[in-house]
Amino acid sequence: MANIIKPHGSSELNPLFVNDESKRAEIIQEAASLPAIVLSSASAANAVMLGGGYFNPLTGYMSKADALSVADNMHTANGLFWPTPVLNLVESAEGINPGDRIALKDPNVDGNRVLAVMNVEAIEEFSGDEMATMTKQVYGTDDAAHPGVAAFNGQGRICLSGPIEVLNYSYFETDFGDTFRTAVQIRQTIKDNGWSKVVAFQTRNPMHRAHEELCHMAMERLEADGLVIHMLLGKLKAGDIPADVRDASIRKMVDVYFPANSAIVTGYGFDMLYAGPREAVLHAVFRQNMGATHLIVGRDHAGVGDYYGAFDAQTIFHDIKEGELNIKIFEADHTAYSKKLNKVVMMREAPDHVKEDFVLLSGTAVREMLGAGKAPPKEFSRPEVAQILMDYYQGLDS
Protein backbone atom coordinates (compact mmCIF):
# COMPACT_ATOMS: atom_id res chain seq x y z
CA MET A 1 0.00 0.00 0.00
CA ALA A 2 1.46 3.34 -1.04
CA ASN A 3 2.17 5.70 1.82
CA ILE A 4 1.12 9.13 0.51
CA ILE A 5 2.42 12.37 2.00
CA LYS A 6 -0.10 14.19 4.21
CA PRO A 7 -1.67 17.38 2.87
CA HIS A 8 -0.52 20.75 4.20
CA GLY A 9 -2.02 21.78 7.53
CA SER A 10 -4.42 18.87 8.04
CA SER A 11 -4.53 15.09 8.10
CA GLU A 12 -7.10 14.88 5.29
CA LEU A 13 -7.56 16.96 2.16
CA ASN A 14 -10.56 19.32 2.45
CA PRO A 15 -11.46 20.54 -1.03
CA LEU A 16 -14.12 23.26 -1.15
CA PHE A 17 -15.91 21.92 -4.24
CA VAL A 18 -19.48 20.85 -3.39
CA ASN A 19 -19.30 17.20 -4.36
CA ASP A 20 -22.86 16.23 -3.46
CA GLU A 21 -24.87 16.76 -6.66
CA SER A 22 -28.22 17.54 -5.02
CA LYS A 23 -26.61 19.98 -2.59
CA ARG A 24 -24.75 21.63 -5.47
CA ALA A 25 -27.99 21.96 -7.46
CA GLU A 26 -29.65 23.57 -4.41
CA ILE A 27 -26.81 26.10 -4.02
CA ILE A 28 -26.86 26.92 -7.75
CA GLN A 29 -30.60 27.58 -7.45
CA GLU A 30 -30.07 29.69 -4.32
CA ALA A 31 -27.28 31.67 -6.01
CA ALA A 32 -29.73 33.00 -8.60
CA SER A 33 -31.42 35.11 -5.90
CA LEU A 34 -28.27 36.23 -4.04
CA PRO A 35 -26.42 39.54 -4.43
CA ALA A 36 -23.63 38.88 -6.94
CA ILE A 37 -20.22 40.21 -7.90
CA VAL A 38 -18.04 39.38 -10.89
CA LEU A 39 -14.65 38.23 -9.60
CA SER A 40 -11.27 39.32 -10.89
CA SER A 41 -9.45 36.59 -12.83
CA ALA A 42 -7.03 36.19 -9.89
CA SER A 43 -9.86 35.74 -7.36
CA ALA A 44 -11.59 33.26 -9.69
CA ALA A 45 -8.34 31.27 -9.96
CA ASN A 46 -8.09 31.27 -6.15
CA ALA A 47 -11.63 29.82 -5.99
CA VAL A 48 -10.70 27.06 -8.47
CA MET A 49 -7.60 26.18 -6.41
CA LEU A 50 -9.63 26.18 -3.17
CA GLY A 51 -12.26 24.00 -4.85
CA GLY A 52 -9.72 21.43 -6.01
CA GLY A 53 -7.99 21.08 -2.63
CA TYR A 54 -4.74 22.67 -3.79
CA PHE A 55 -5.03 25.43 -1.17
CA ASN A 56 -5.75 23.09 1.74
CA PRO A 57 -6.36 23.82 4.64
CA LEU A 58 -7.78 27.27 3.74
CA THR A 59 -11.58 27.46 3.96
CA GLY A 60 -12.00 30.55 1.79
CA TYR A 61 -10.59 34.00 1.10
CA MET A 62 -8.21 35.54 3.64
CA SER A 63 -9.01 38.49 5.86
CA LYS A 64 -6.95 41.66 5.79
CA ALA A 65 -5.08 40.61 8.95
CA ASP A 66 -4.20 37.21 7.48
CA ALA A 67 -3.09 38.70 4.15
CA LEU A 68 -0.85 41.31 5.80
CA SER A 69 0.63 38.67 8.12
CA VAL A 70 1.26 36.22 5.25
CA ALA A 71 2.92 38.97 3.18
CA ASP A 72 5.07 39.96 6.14
CA ASN A 73 6.21 36.58 7.51
CA MET A 74 4.60 33.74 5.53
CA HIS A 75 2.19 32.84 8.35
CA THR A 76 -1.49 33.66 8.85
CA ALA A 77 -2.51 35.55 11.98
CA ASN A 78 -3.12 32.23 13.77
CA GLY A 79 0.24 30.77 12.71
CA LEU A 80 -0.51 28.61 9.65
CA PHE A 81 2.47 28.56 7.28
CA TRP A 82 1.36 30.13 3.97
CA PRO A 83 3.47 32.05 1.41
CA THR A 84 1.10 34.36 -0.53
CA PRO A 85 -2.17 36.18 0.20
CA VAL A 86 -5.28 34.40 -1.12
CA LEU A 87 -7.70 37.26 -1.57
CA ASN A 88 -10.96 38.35 -3.10
CA LEU A 89 -10.21 41.97 -3.98
CA VAL A 90 -12.89 44.21 -5.49
CA GLU A 91 -13.17 47.87 -6.43
CA SER A 92 -16.56 48.30 -4.78
CA ALA A 93 -18.59 46.31 -2.23
CA GLU A 94 -21.62 48.54 -2.51
CA GLY A 95 -24.78 46.78 -1.35
CA ILE A 96 -22.84 43.98 0.37
CA ASN A 97 -22.64 43.70 4.16
CA PRO A 98 -20.79 41.42 6.57
CA GLY A 99 -22.98 38.38 7.18
CA ASP A 100 -24.32 38.35 3.62
CA ARG A 101 -24.22 35.30 1.42
CA ILE A 102 -23.21 36.28 -2.10
CA ALA A 103 -22.75 34.68 -5.51
CA LEU A 104 -19.28 34.92 -7.06
CA LYS A 105 -19.47 35.13 -10.84
CA ASP A 106 -16.77 33.92 -13.19
CA PRO A 107 -15.09 36.64 -15.29
CA ASN A 108 -13.58 34.08 -17.67
CA VAL A 109 -16.65 32.32 -19.08
CA ASP A 110 -19.42 33.64 -21.33
CA GLY A 111 -22.41 34.79 -19.32
CA ASN A 112 -20.37 34.99 -16.08
CA ARG A 113 -21.94 31.89 -14.54
CA VAL A 114 -21.71 31.50 -10.77
CA LEU A 115 -18.39 29.92 -9.79
CA ALA A 116 -18.88 29.84 -6.02
CA VAL A 117 -21.01 31.10 -3.16
CA MET A 118 -19.41 32.99 -0.28
CA ASN A 119 -20.38 33.82 3.28
CA VAL A 120 -18.98 37.32 3.74
CA GLU A 121 -17.40 37.52 7.19
CA ALA A 122 -15.71 40.89 6.73
CA ILE A 123 -15.40 43.76 4.27
CA GLU A 124 -12.13 45.62 4.79
CA GLU A 125 -10.08 48.08 2.79
CA PHE A 126 -6.32 48.07 2.33
CA SER A 127 -4.74 51.51 2.39
CA GLY A 128 -2.45 52.52 -0.47
CA ASP A 129 0.52 52.04 1.86
CA GLU A 130 -0.65 48.57 2.88
CA MET A 131 -1.07 47.51 -0.75
CA ALA A 132 2.39 48.87 -1.57
CA THR A 133 4.00 47.05 1.37
CA MET A 134 2.20 43.80 0.61
CA THR A 135 3.17 44.03 -3.07
CA LYS A 136 6.84 44.59 -2.21
CA GLN A 137 6.90 41.72 0.29
CA VAL A 138 5.21 39.18 -2.00
CA TYR A 139 6.68 40.19 -5.38
CA GLY A 140 9.99 41.65 -4.21
CA THR A 141 9.23 44.76 -6.27
CA ASP A 142 6.52 47.37 -6.72
CA ASP A 143 7.38 48.00 -10.37
CA ALA A 144 4.10 48.36 -12.28
CA ALA A 145 5.82 46.81 -15.34
CA HIS A 146 6.02 43.48 -13.46
CA PRO A 147 3.02 41.46 -14.77
CA GLY A 148 2.17 40.01 -11.35
CA VAL A 149 2.37 43.38 -9.63
CA ALA A 150 0.14 44.92 -12.31
CA ALA A 151 -2.47 42.15 -11.95
CA PHE A 152 -2.40 42.26 -8.13
CA ASN A 153 -2.82 46.02 -7.94
CA GLY A 154 -5.39 46.20 -10.71
CA GLN A 155 -8.16 44.41 -8.79
CA GLY A 156 -9.17 47.03 -6.25
CA ARG A 157 -8.34 47.49 -2.57
CA ILE A 158 -11.49 46.22 -0.87
CA CYS A 159 -11.11 42.75 0.56
CA LEU A 160 -14.07 40.38 1.02
CA SER A 161 -13.16 37.53 3.33
CA GLY A 162 -14.91 34.36 4.40
CA PRO A 163 -15.59 30.74 3.52
CA ILE A 164 -16.69 29.67 0.05
CA GLU A 165 -18.43 26.72 -1.58
CA VAL A 166 -17.19 26.05 -5.10
CA LEU A 167 -19.69 24.96 -7.77
CA ASN A 168 -17.51 24.31 -10.83
CA TYR A 169 -13.94 24.60 -12.12
CA SER A 170 -14.46 27.51 -14.50
CA TYR A 171 -13.26 26.95 -18.08
CA PHE A 172 -10.51 24.57 -17.04
CA GLU A 173 -12.53 21.36 -16.94
CA THR A 174 -14.23 22.12 -20.28
CA ASP A 175 -11.28 23.54 -22.24
CA PHE A 176 -8.67 21.15 -20.80
CA GLY A 177 -10.71 18.03 -20.05
CA ASP A 178 -7.80 15.64 -20.64
CA THR A 179 -5.34 17.63 -18.54
CA PHE A 180 -7.03 19.62 -15.78
CA ARG A 181 -7.00 17.65 -12.54
CA THR A 182 -7.79 18.58 -8.95
CA ALA A 183 -5.44 17.79 -6.09
CA VAL A 184 -8.00 15.16 -5.04
CA GLN A 185 -7.81 13.44 -8.44
CA ILE A 186 -4.00 13.50 -8.59
CA ARG A 187 -3.77 12.05 -5.08
CA GLN A 188 -6.08 9.25 -6.21
CA THR A 189 -3.97 8.56 -9.33
CA ILE A 190 -0.80 8.44 -7.20
CA LYS A 191 -2.54 6.01 -4.85
CA ASP A 192 -3.85 3.87 -7.75
CA ASN A 193 -0.32 3.72 -9.22
CA GLY A 194 1.10 2.60 -5.88
CA TRP A 195 3.57 5.50 -5.84
CA SER A 196 5.02 6.80 -2.56
CA LYS A 197 7.94 8.94 -3.66
CA VAL A 198 6.64 11.35 -6.29
CA VAL A 199 8.43 14.19 -8.09
CA ALA A 200 6.47 17.20 -9.35
CA PHE A 201 7.64 19.36 -12.23
CA GLN A 202 6.07 22.79 -12.61
CA THR A 203 5.86 24.32 -16.06
CA ARG A 204 4.23 27.22 -17.85
CA ASN A 205 6.23 26.55 -21.05
CA PRO A 206 6.72 23.65 -23.46
CA MET A 207 9.46 21.32 -22.22
CA HIS A 208 12.73 21.33 -24.12
CA ARG A 209 15.28 18.58 -23.86
CA ALA A 210 16.98 20.12 -20.81
CA HIS A 211 13.68 20.07 -18.87
CA GLU A 212 13.02 16.49 -19.92
CA GLU A 213 16.47 15.34 -18.80
CA LEU A 214 16.12 17.29 -15.54
CA CYS A 215 13.00 15.24 -14.74
CA HIS A 216 14.87 12.01 -15.52
CA MET A 217 17.78 13.15 -13.30
CA ALA A 218 15.50 14.00 -10.37
CA MET A 219 13.66 10.68 -10.63
CA GLU A 220 16.89 8.74 -10.80
CA ARG A 221 18.67 10.54 -7.96
CA LEU A 222 15.65 10.47 -5.67
CA GLU A 223 14.73 6.91 -6.67
CA ALA A 224 11.22 8.18 -7.25
CA ASP A 225 8.26 5.97 -8.15
CA GLY A 226 6.73 8.48 -10.53
CA LEU A 227 6.66 11.98 -11.99
CA VAL A 228 3.78 14.44 -12.18
CA ILE A 229 4.29 17.05 -14.89
CA HIS A 230 1.95 19.76 -13.68
CA MET A 231 1.31 22.65 -16.02
CA LEU A 232 -0.33 25.97 -15.34
CA LEU A 233 -3.48 26.33 -17.44
CA GLY A 234 -4.55 29.85 -16.43
CA LYS A 235 -3.66 33.36 -17.52
CA LEU A 236 -0.11 34.16 -18.60
CA LYS A 237 1.65 37.27 -19.80
CA ALA A 238 1.42 38.31 -23.46
CA GLY A 239 3.67 36.24 -25.71
CA ASP A 240 3.64 33.05 -23.62
CA ILE A 241 2.65 29.88 -25.49
CA PRO A 242 -1.02 28.91 -25.04
CA ALA A 243 -1.87 25.94 -22.83
CA ASP A 244 -3.23 23.68 -25.57
CA VAL A 245 0.04 23.93 -27.54
CA ARG A 246 2.14 23.29 -24.43
CA ASP A 247 -0.09 20.37 -23.54
CA ALA A 248 0.31 18.72 -26.95
CA SER A 249 4.08 19.16 -26.99
CA ILE A 250 4.55 17.83 -23.44
CA ARG A 251 2.32 14.81 -24.06
CA LYS A 252 4.31 13.97 -27.20
CA MET A 253 7.59 14.17 -25.24
CA VAL A 254 6.26 11.88 -22.49
CA ASP A 255 4.85 9.37 -24.99
CA VAL A 256 8.15 9.07 -26.85
CA TYR A 257 10.85 9.63 -24.22
CA PHE A 258 9.54 8.39 -20.87
CA PRO A 259 9.03 4.75 -19.83
CA ALA A 260 5.38 3.68 -19.81
CA ASN A 261 3.50 4.54 -16.59
CA SER A 262 6.38 6.55 -15.13
CA ALA A 263 4.97 10.04 -15.73
CA ILE A 264 1.53 11.65 -15.78
CA VAL A 265 0.72 14.91 -17.58
CA THR A 266 -1.71 17.09 -15.65
CA GLY A 267 -2.62 20.74 -15.26
CA TYR A 268 -4.12 23.11 -12.73
CA GLY A 269 -6.35 26.16 -12.97
CA PHE A 270 -4.41 29.13 -11.70
CA ASP A 271 -3.13 32.40 -13.10
CA MET A 272 0.64 32.88 -13.03
CA LEU A 273 1.78 35.32 -10.34
CA TYR A 274 5.41 35.63 -11.57
CA ALA A 275 6.28 36.11 -7.89
CA GLY A 276 9.57 34.20 -8.00
CA PRO A 277 10.59 32.87 -4.55
CA ARG A 278 7.18 33.33 -2.89
CA GLU A 279 5.45 31.60 -5.78
CA ALA A 280 7.96 28.73 -5.62
CA VAL A 281 6.88 28.15 -2.00
CA LEU A 282 3.22 28.32 -3.02
CA HIS A 283 4.01 25.75 -5.73
CA ALA A 284 5.47 23.50 -3.04
CA VAL A 285 2.39 23.84 -0.81
CA PHE A 286 -0.07 22.82 -3.45
CA ARG A 287 2.19 20.04 -4.77
CA GLN A 288 2.26 18.59 -1.25
CA ASN A 289 -1.55 18.80 -1.24
CA MET A 290 -1.74 16.82 -4.49
CA GLY A 291 0.52 14.09 -3.08
CA ALA A 292 4.03 14.92 -4.37
CA THR A 293 6.95 14.36 -2.00
CA HIS A 294 9.43 16.44 -4.03
CA LEU A 295 9.25 19.52 -6.23
CA ILE A 296 11.94 20.39 -8.77
CA VAL A 297 12.94 24.03 -8.28
CA GLY A 298 15.29 25.27 -10.95
CA ARG A 299 16.95 28.47 -11.94
CA ASP A 300 14.68 31.55 -11.66
CA HIS A 301 11.66 29.39 -10.80
CA ALA A 302 8.40 31.36 -11.34
CA GLY A 303 10.42 34.46 -12.20
CA VAL A 304 10.05 37.06 -14.89
CA GLY A 305 12.52 39.59 -16.31
CA ASP A 306 15.44 40.34 -13.99
CA TYR A 307 13.45 40.82 -10.81
CA TYR A 308 14.91 37.84 -8.92
CA GLY A 309 18.33 36.30 -8.40
CA ALA A 310 18.91 33.03 -10.28
CA PHE A 311 18.57 30.86 -7.16
CA ASP A 312 16.42 33.01 -4.84
CA ALA A 313 13.56 30.54 -5.33
CA GLN A 314 15.76 27.81 -3.82
CA THR A 315 17.31 29.75 -0.94
CA ILE A 316 13.89 30.88 0.37
CA PHE A 317 13.27 27.25 1.36
CA HIS A 318 16.37 27.27 3.58
CA ASP A 319 14.57 29.66 5.95
CA ILE A 320 11.45 27.51 6.34
CA LYS A 321 11.34 25.89 9.78
CA GLU A 322 11.29 22.12 10.18
CA GLY A 323 7.75 20.75 10.06
CA GLU A 324 6.16 23.77 8.38
CA LEU A 325 6.27 22.09 5.00
CA ASN A 326 6.70 18.36 4.46
CA ILE A 327 7.46 18.35 0.74
CA LYS A 328 11.18 18.42 -0.15
CA ILE A 329 12.87 20.47 -2.85
CA PHE A 330 15.09 19.04 -5.57
CA GLU A 331 17.43 21.95 -6.26
CA ALA A 332 18.38 22.10 -9.92
CA ASP A 333 20.92 24.21 -11.73
CA HIS A 334 20.55 25.41 -15.30
CA THR A 335 20.66 22.31 -17.49
CA ALA A 336 22.04 22.20 -21.02
CA TYR A 337 23.45 19.76 -23.56
CA SER A 338 27.22 19.29 -23.23
CA LYS A 339 28.99 18.89 -26.56
CA LYS A 340 31.96 17.40 -24.67
CA LEU A 341 29.94 14.72 -22.89
CA ASN A 342 27.21 14.26 -25.51
CA LYS A 343 24.44 14.50 -22.92
CA VAL A 344 22.41 17.01 -20.91
CA VAL A 345 24.06 17.99 -17.64
CA MET A 346 23.54 20.47 -14.83
CA MET A 347 26.02 23.21 -15.61
CA ARG A 348 27.41 23.33 -12.06
CA GLU A 349 28.29 19.64 -12.42
CA ALA A 350 30.54 20.35 -15.41
CA PRO A 351 33.17 22.70 -13.90
CA ASP A 352 35.67 22.00 -16.68
CA HIS A 353 33.27 23.42 -19.30
CA VAL A 354 33.16 26.90 -20.76
CA LYS A 355 30.02 28.47 -22.18
CA GLU A 356 30.88 27.36 -25.72
CA ASP A 357 30.86 23.71 -24.62
CA PHE A 358 27.09 23.85 -24.13
CA VAL A 359 24.23 24.11 -26.62
CA LEU A 360 22.62 27.33 -25.36
CA LEU A 361 19.88 29.24 -27.16
CA SER A 362 17.91 32.25 -25.98
CA GLY A 363 14.13 32.12 -25.94
CA THR A 364 14.05 34.80 -28.61
CA ALA A 365 16.38 32.82 -30.89
CA VAL A 366 14.28 29.67 -30.45
CA ARG A 367 11.03 31.53 -31.23
CA GLU A 368 12.60 33.01 -34.38
CA MET A 369 13.77 29.59 -35.56
CA LEU A 370 10.40 27.99 -34.92
CA GLY A 371 8.60 30.88 -36.63
CA ALA A 372 10.81 30.41 -39.69
CA GLY A 373 9.93 26.70 -39.80
CA LYS A 374 13.41 25.70 -38.69
CA ALA A 375 13.76 23.13 -35.91
CA PRO A 376 16.26 23.96 -33.13
CA PRO A 377 19.17 21.51 -32.84
CA LYS A 378 18.11 18.07 -31.58
CA GLU A 379 20.37 18.61 -28.57
CA PHE A 380 18.09 21.48 -27.55
CA SER A 381 14.63 20.30 -28.55
CA ARG A 382 13.23 16.90 -29.48
CA PRO A 383 12.21 16.95 -33.17
CA GLU A 384 8.67 15.72 -32.39
CA VAL A 385 8.21 18.59 -29.91
CA ALA A 386 9.79 21.13 -32.25
CA GLN A 387 7.32 20.16 -35.01
CA ILE A 388 4.30 20.98 -32.81
CA LEU A 389 5.83 24.33 -31.87
CA MET A 390 6.79 25.15 -35.47
CA ASP A 391 3.21 24.52 -36.55
CA TYR A 392 1.99 26.89 -33.83
CA TYR A 393 4.44 29.74 -34.59
CA GLN A 394 3.95 29.49 -38.34
CA GLY A 395 0.19 29.59 -37.79
CA LEU A 396 0.64 32.96 -36.04
CA ASP A 397 2.14 34.43 -39.17
CA SER A 398 -0.35 33.04 -41.65
In a domain, 2, yes or no: no
State whether 48 and 133 are in the same domain.
yes
The C-alpha R_g of the chain, in whole angstroms, comes to 21
In a domain, 160, yes or no: yes
Residue type, 231: M
According to the model, what pLDDT value does residue 239 have? Answer: 75
Mean pLDDT, all residues of the chain: 95
According to the model, what pLDDT value does residue 236 have? Answer: 75
Instruction: Give me the CATH number covering residue 279.
Output: 3.40.50.620
Active site residue 112: no
Confidence of residue 364 (pLDDT cuts 50, 70, 90): confident
CA angle (105 as vertex; 100, 106 as ends), nearest 5: 150
pLDDT per residue over 163-175, tens digit each? 999 999 999 999 9
In a domain, 367, yes or no: yes
User: Percentage of residues in the chain with pLDDT exceeding 70?
Assistant: 99
State whether 156 and 216 are in the same domain.
no
Give the end of a domain, one of 173, 207, 224.
173
Average pLDDT of the segment spanning 229-240 = 86
According to the model, what pLDDT value does residue 273 have? Answer: 95
In a domain, 4, yes or no: no
Average pLDDT of the segment spanning 65-84 = 98
Residue type, 144: A
In a domain, 137, yes or no: yes
Active site residue 204: yes
CB 8 within 8 A of CB 75: no
pLDDT per residue over 85-141, tens digit each? 999 999 999 999 999 999 999 999 999 999 999 999 999 999 999 999 999 999 999
CB 107 within 8 A of CB 139: no
Average pLDDT of the segment spanning 284-302 = 97
State whether 248 and 311 are in the same domain.
yes
CA distance readout (Å), 55 to 64, 117, 383: 18, 17, 37
State whether 330 and 221 are in the same domain.
yes
According to the model, what pLDDT value does residue 398 have? Answer: 59
State whether 143 and 195 are in the same domain.
no
**Residue of 204, 251, 299, 367 marked active site:** 204
According to the model, what pLDDT value does residue 377 have? Answer: 94
- Domain that includes residue 323, residue range: 177-397
State whether 101 and 193 are in the same domain.
no
State whether 46 and 90 are in the same domain.
yes
State whether 213 and 326 are in the same domain.
yes
The residue among 286, 226, 197 whose CA lies nearest residue 13 is 286
Confidence of residue 61 (pLDDT cuts 50, 70, 90): very high
pLDDT per residue over 173-182, tens digit each? 999 999 999 9
According to the model, what pLDDT value does residue 375 have? Answer: 93
Instruction: Give me the CATH number covering residue 72.
Output: 3.10.400.10
* Total-model pTM: 0.96
Give the end of a domain, one of 173, 205, 221.
173
In a domain, 16, yes or no: no
State whether 219 and 265 are in the same domain.
yes
In a domain, 140, yes or no: yes
Average pLDDT of the segment spanning 81-86 = 98
What's the number of domains the chain is made of?
Answer: 2
pLDDT per residue over 187-196, tens digit each? 999 999 999 9
- Beta strands 294-297; 198-203: pairing state: parallel
The residue among 96, 110, 109 whose CA lies nearest residue 36 is 96
Average pLDDT of the segment spanning 4-26 = 97
CB count within 10 Å of CB 131 equals 18
* The pLDDT of residue 1 is above 60: no
Give the end of a domain, one of 158, 173, 188.
173
State whether 86 and 235 are in the same domain.
no
Give CA–CA dist 194/189, Å, rounded.
Answer: 9
**Residue of 14, 112, 119, 205 marked active site:** 205
